[in-house]
Chain A
């Protein structure tokens, strides 16, 4: 770039021009002798990068390697092998399918000490009738009415519910 006096930008403090002169002096220092020779020798010794597969030099002179079509076919075969192997691994690594049937947890035994023998635990929603004494002959067995009208059916239902057969005795 041009010196501060030439590029049109103000230099301000005179020391700035002096500092930039020092920078120009450093920028103009000569390179060490033999630099180009050393760099070229380094470049010649460096491996030549470029191709992923470095085919042996002898194969280029003759043989099937020299034909680009066959080389392309070989490359395609390699790709197929890699993809096929990857697909096989992918299939094996698939997570197990969810079972069609769900295994239910074992049923809990009913409280009371006796084994349930695999029976379901019946929740205590119904209060079964308790029979504390044998049924007397004087007590008429309750017979469900056969064909009563609706109102009478409701009354008879209430009677059944309120009878001694429905209420638990302490």
Chain B
């Protein structure tokens, strides 16, 4: 009886986490994988891991950052195992998911192409700088929280972000081909 009550409480807590953070976790996963189906799979896997460790849920101090860290590790692992994603896939995907905002089809295609080009240049950055740059795009995350997700210090986050921007500027001034 006691076990059943505790199990019910854990399931309710988990459902509340899904309602509150699933959307943000999806955006984090999508920013790395850039595929809607893969991003949703990553979020589901993250919550399945939380389900396996639901007994220790109450011990987590910051559940939002904890969940982001879980999904971040999942997407990095998937990306490492996957082949290099061609830019055309990004253009097609972004063209599908970018909001219209009063843009016509041609303008949306141009925006998708522009964003895909940015992503291709971001991919050329070293992994450490690239990860900080991608996470810094999330308004909800402070530098302290980014440091916690990446398991580094806050000063490392700032120095890597500074280096990422310098490298991006160099790439924009001297464009290089991917191959």
Taking Cβ atoms with an 8 Å cutoff, the residues of A that contact B are 1-2, 4, 7, 9-13, 15-16, 18-20, 22-32, 35-36, 38-40, 42-43, 46, 48-50, 60
Query: With contacts A24-B139, A25-B115, A29-B30 known, is A19 near B22, CB below 8 A?
Result: no
Please give, as numbers and ranges, the residues of chain A lying within 8 Å of B48 by CB-CB distance.
42-43, 46
Q: Is the CB of B166 within 8 A of A12?
A: yes
Query: With contacts A19-B121, A43-B18, A49-B52 known, is A32 near B40, CB below 8 A?
Result: yes
Closest 10 CB pairs of A and B: A13-B169, A23-B137, A15-B172, A31-B26, A1-B136, A12-B169, A31-B23, A22-B118, A27-B137, A24-B137
B19 at the A interface (CB under 8 A): yes
Bound together, the chains give a CA A19 to CA B168 distance in angstroms of 8
Stretch at the interface among B58-66, B79-87, B140-148: B140-148
B51 at the A interface (CB under 8 A): yes
Q: Is the CB of A7 within 8 A of B23?
A: no
Query: With contacts A26-B31, A27-B27, A40-B15 known, is A35 near B22, CB below 8 A?
Result: yes
Q: Is the CB of B22 within 8 A of A16?
A: no
Q: Which of A16, A28, A40 contacts B18 (CB 8 A)?
A: A40
- Report the minimal beta-carbon distance from A65 to chain B, rounded to whole angstroms: 12
A-B contact pairs, 25 of them (CB 8 A): A7-B161, A9-B165, A12-B165, A13-B168, A19-B168, A20-B136, A22-B114, A22-B115, A22-B118, A26-B30, A26-B119, A27-B31, A29-B27, A29-B98, A29-B99, A30-B23, A30-B99, A31-B23, A32-B40, A35-B40, A36-B18, A39-B44, A43-B11, A43-B47, A49-B51
Closest-by-CB residue of B relative to A35 is: B22
Taking Cβ atoms with an 8 Å cutoff, the residues of B that contact A are 1, 3, 7, 11, 14-15, 18-19, 22-23, 26-28, 30-31, 34, 36, 40, 43-44, 47-48, 51-52, 55, 94, 97-99, 114-115, 118-119, 121-122, 133-139, 141-143, 146, 158, 161-162, 165-166, 168-169, 172-173
Please give, as numbers and ranges, the residues of chain B lying within 8 Å of A39 by CB-CB distance.
18, 22, 43-44, 47
- Report the minimal beta-carbon distance from A48 to chain B, rounded to whole angstroms: 7
- Report the minimal beta-carbon distance from B22 to chain A, rounded to whole angstroms: 5
Q: Which of A1, A31, A32, A42 has the most CB of B within 10 A?
A: A1
- Report the minimal beta-carbon distance from A49 to chain B, rounded to whole angstroms: 5
Closest-by-CB residue of A relative to B50 is: A43
Query: With contacts A1-B135, A31-B22, A49-B51 known, is A42 near B44, CB below 8 A?
Result: yes
- Report the minimal beta-carbon distance from B48 to chain A, rounded to whole angstroms: 6
Please give, as numbers and ranges, the residues of chain A lying within 8 Å of B121 by CB-CB distance.
19
Q: Is the CB of A13 within 8 A of B44?
A: no
Q: Is the CB of A15 within 8 A of B169?
A: yes
Q: Which of A11, A24, A42, A48 has the most CB of B within 10 A?
A: A42
Please give, as numbers and ranges, the residues of chain B lying within 8 Å of A46 by CB-CB distance.
48, 51
Please give, as numbers and ranges, the residues of chain A lying within 8 Å of B98 by CB-CB distance.
25, 29
Please give, as numbers and ranges, the residues of chain A lying within 8 Å of B23 by CB-CB distance.
30-31, 35-36
